[in-house]
Amino acid sequence: MSKRMFSKSFQWLTALPLLLVTGALAVIAVGTLTGAHSPDRHWREWLFDYFQRLSPADGEAVEDFHLVLIDRESIDAVGPWPWPRTVLANLVESAGNAGAKAVILTETVDSPDPLSPETIGEFWLSGARDEALAQQLSLLPRTDERLAAAFGSVKGAVAVSQTPPIHPNRPTAFARSDIRSADWLSHSGTEGDYIALPTARYFYSINPALAGAAQPAVSALATDGDGIFRRVPLLWSLNGTPAPSISLEAARLARGVDKVSLAFDPSAANSQGRIVDSLQLGDLSVPVAGSTAVRLYLPKRVTVPSTSASRLIAASGASGTRVSSSNSQLADSVVLIGLDTELGPTVPTARGELSPAAIHALTAAQIASGNAPRRPGWTGYIEALAVMIFGAAAIMTAQRFQFWQATGVAAVLSLLLLLGAYIAFSSGGVLLNPLPSAAALFLGALSIAGGKSIGGVLRDDNLRGSFHDTLPEDAMKKLRETPNSDVLQGVYRDVTILACELRIADDDLRMMENLPDEVTRLLAAASLDLRQTIINAGGVADQADGGRMFAYFNAPLEKADHVQAGCAAALRLIESMDKVNAGLEGSSHTRGLQIHLAIGIATGECFVGPMGHGRNNRYSAIGAAVDRATLLRGQSEFYGPAMICDEQVYKESHHHFAYLELDRLRIRGEKRPVSIYALIGNPFIKSSKAFRALDDVHRQLLASYRAGDMTKAEELLEKAKNSPGAKIALFDIYEERIKKFSQSGTPEGWDGAHPIGG
């Protein structure tokens, strides 16, 4: 009855997950809309990459392009790279003589030729080493003009501006360009002659004669944020003038069109000018993104027909112009000349590393075939709307089904969305992103789980009372899953007890007597930290009066290794307290203040279980082990070590932890003297050379002391005190005892045992 009443009083809170899920759906929808065309949505881009692997592009158009690669064989025949541009001119002429439709040099020429007579002459003139020789060098033909002359017999282009802007797809990277300055461009309409294009710049400059003979084309290739190259801007603003990319120029030359026509997006513009919506190459329309980019769509085989440059140059030297009769494969092809992947840079794509020349050729083939994936502007709106529709449908479904059923429905619908997106791509070339809608489906399914979970948590909290800050997580989990289980029933079994106490030295308390609130706040915070550490270690935390606390292991759930678990928890408590004291040292109010932790550890049979009523209920223990742990905790201040254990704890865990025997005590109620031990550290300390040496000397010290040989004991004490880590109060106690018994002798019936505190 009380359980049902409690559920009704908190029933309105079960709607909280629905409100949170609705807000999350709105956030996803807005993010989907605003980032629909951003290249930084890596999950979407990876999915589109996978779609393209499943349905690759048709590679027939690649046959219209041919690579002439400057490879290792070419270097052996001509010499190291870079070559003089006269050699490149020979390559261009050789390709033209072989019947190439056009030739494009993909290695940039917008910087001075380091091997030209002009550049060498400038070096000599500036160095003033041989002015006459410099004058003679300056009269020799310029290599750029020789390259320009080579393009006089064949159409072509030369590469410039190899370095792309950091974010070429963002409007901040756009520049204003005048269409009228590019005679190879045309457009319809009267809206103006300025367009917004990604910015490119000459590295230095280009020879005017070369720029007049061959079209300067931008070679920059910018990767996405994940380092993968996916987008090729086709138009650039090169020093304020529209310039084609190498890919666009290669496609234009392959199709044999003189001008590229532009179509603009009537609903989009920015401060730099109008936004290009598509390019027209003759009767072929190529839709582009706002940055004039097309998405790289690779065929199943990402190879381009290629020939070594060495075959186009006579074996007698780089200056020869003899053409091999076997170069007929270049006929009617657009030839792209560039470095191979061994000598030049590589570009990471979704299908592996490719050379820039291969990227340009594959993109040109894609443009020339009109086979380019499209992601229209409306896709973002459709995907955002789908998020809200599928999310709402999932929430309604989740109200009628169990959680796993609702999750199963969400999984099936997500797979259908993925399949639909793939079909849209493979059949229509449209890229749709199903991931936000799939996320909305699972969020809706989780809403029912969240509602039930909150209701369950609130009901469990009523049943557990105050135990939610007391029991370890495994016990809490069992209590949540089976509220009527026997977890909270009292039991009588072996339990390992940790009796803990937080102490502040008297001198520190006098220093803080004007700040009583600060003292209580510090102790409360330290107690909370200890409590959480105990629970995380798998124990039960039982707060007692003041700064005292008990920890119980092997209850309420049984643990076979509860003694080891208790010792490990004690070490973690010391580490936790060290962190607390480090924080106190960092505050000007508490600098110099230290909170000390004393721990007594004992194990034995106890009655353990809930002891109290309602919110005042406590999970506690009663038994001799509790009394021993409390007694040992009190001895910590006398003996010095912070963790003191009884004989049983030592016997069951001394193989796992480092211990030192402290003393042999006579305790009221015990028939014989009992030994107590200091828990020093973990197995790493136990196995250390320094500890083993100290432990050996300490054992000999105790044996001599208990045998009454105070002379030998004094000698061993000095040796122990000089050992690393021996600065503890224990040896001061034995020093005083040995001195006393050396003078007065040991009492009759001496066995080395002492009363508590003696």
Q: What is the pLDDT of residues 82-133, one digit of tens each?
A: 898 889 999 999 999 888 999 999 999 988 887 776 666 565 555 545 566 5
Distances (CA, A) of 490 to 275, 479, 618: 77, 15, 12
Q: How far, CA to CA in Å, does 85 sit from each of 91, 212, 306, 540, 720?
A: 10, 16, 21, 82, 83
**The pair of three-digit structure tokens given for residue 675, joined into one six-digit string:** 């030994």
In this prediction, residue 681 carries a pLDDT of 92
- What's the residue count for the chain? 758
What is the model's pLDDT at position 351? 87
Same domain, 296 and 171: yes
Residues 530, 420 within the same domain: no
> Is the same domain home to 158 and 180?
yes
Instruction: Report the C-alpha gap between 576 and 564 in whole angstroms.
Output: 18
Same domain for 203 and 310: yes
310-329 average pLDDT score? 58
Full-prediction pTM beyond 0.85?
no
Domain-embedded: residue 219: yes
**426 & 559 share domain:** no
Are 28 and 435 within 8 A, CB to CB?
no
Residue-range definition of the domain harbouring residue 604: 488-629+641-653
Q: Residue 75: its pLDDT value, please? A: 92
User: Given a cut of 50, is residue 370 above it in pLDDT?
Assistant: yes
- The domain spanning residue 538 has which CATH number? 3.30.70.1230
Question: Averaged over 529-533, what is the pLDDT?
Answer: 92
Compute how many other C-beta atoms are within 10 angstroms of the C-beta atom of residue 533: 19
- Identify the domain boundary among 328, 343, 369: 369
Residue 455, pLDDT above cutoff 80:
no
What's the pLDDT at 11?
47
Q: How confident is the model at residue 144 (pLDDT cuts 50, 70, 90)?
A: confident
Residue 315 has pLDDT above 70, yes or no: no
Residue 283 within any structural domain of the chain: yes
At 403, which helix (H) or strand (E)?
helix 403-428
In this predicted structure, the answer to whether residue 451 has a pLDDT above a threshold of 60 is no
* Cα-based distances in Å from 60 to 68, 297, 354, 374: 19, 13, 19, 20
- For residue 37, tell me if it sits in a domain: no
Q: Give me the pLDDT at residue 493, please.
A: 94
The residue ranking higher by pLDDT, 498 or 396, is 498
Q: In this predicted model, what pLDDT tens digit does every residue of 236-251 receive, in sequence order?
A: 999 889 999 999 999 9
Q: What is the mean pLDDT of residues 497-503?
A: 94
Tell me which of 446-455, 534-543, 612-621, 623-632 is least confident.
Answer: 446-455
User: Could you give the number of structural domains in the chain?
Assistant: 3
Residue 576 has pLDDT above 80, yes or no: yes
Backbone angles phi, psi at 283, to 5 degrees: -90, 10
Question: Where does the pLDDT of residue 45 fall: very low under 50, low under 70, confident under 90, or very high at 90 and above?
Answer: confident
Note the pLDDT tens digit of each residue in 256-265.
Answer: 998 998 888 7
Q: Same structural domain for residues 334 and 205?
A: yes
Over the chain, what is the mean pLDDT? 84
Residues 438-456 as b or e (16 or more Cβ within 10 Å = b): bbbbbbbbbbbbbbeebbe
Same domain, residue pair 544 and 453: no
| 3-class DSSP assignment, residue 348 | strand
Q: How confident is the model at residue 442 (pLDDT cuts 50, 70, 90)?
A: confident
Residues 503 and 422 in one domain: no
Taking each helix axis from N to C end, the angle separating 143-150 and 85-97, rounded to the nearest 10 degrees, works out to 10
Domain boundary among 317, 337, 369: 369
Neighbours of 284 (CB within 10 A): 14
Find tokens 């690779």 and name the residue. Answer: 298
* Whether residues 389 and 282 fall in one domain: no
Pairing outcome for strands 102-105 and 156-160: parallel
Residues 395 and 516 in one domain: no
Positive or negative, the CA dihedral 102, 105, 109, 115 is negative
Q: Do the domain assignments include residue 124?
A: no
Across the range 503-526, mean pLDDT stands at 84
SS3 of 175, please? strand
Asked whether residue 564 is domain-assigned, the answer is yes
Rounded CA gap, 174 and 170, in Å?
A: 7
| Same-domain status, 319 and 224 | yes
573 in any annotated domain? yes
Other residues' Cβ atoms within 10 Å of the Cβ of residue 386: 20
**CA distance linking residue 103 with residue 156, whole number of Å:** 5
Residue 573 has pLDDT above 70, yes or no: yes
Q: Looking at residue 668, what is its pLDDT?
A: 79
pLDDT value for 320: 41
Three-state SS sequence of 149-164: HHCCCCCEEEEECCCC
Residue with tokens 């016990």: 475
Would you say residue 425 lies in a domain? Answer: yes
Supply the pLDDT for residue 48.
87
pLDDT at 362: 93
| Share above pLDDT 70 across residues of the chain, in percent, rounded to a whole number | 87
Confidence band for 317, pLDDT divided at 50, 70 and 90: very low
Mean pLDDT of 347-357: 92
pLDDT-based confidence at 749, cuts 50/70/90? confident
Gap between the Cα atoms of 529 and 63, Å rounded:
72
Sign of the C-alpha dihedral computed for residues 580, 582, 587 and 591 taken in this order: positive
Distance, in Å, from the CA atom of 206 to the CA atom of 194, rounded to the nearest integer, reads 24
pLDDT bucket at 42, cuts 50 / 70 / 90: confident
As separate numbers, helices (DSSP H) first and strands (DSSP E) second, the chain gives 24, 27
| The predicted structure's pLDDT at residue 139 | 57
- Same domain for 328 and 396, yes or no, is no
User: Is residue 236 situated within a structural domain?
Assistant: yes
What is the per-residue pLDDT across 193-213, written as a single tens digit (0 to 9) for each? 788 888 899 988 898 999 899
Q: What is the pLDDT of residue 418?
A: 93
Select from 369, 399, 427 the last residue of a domain.
369
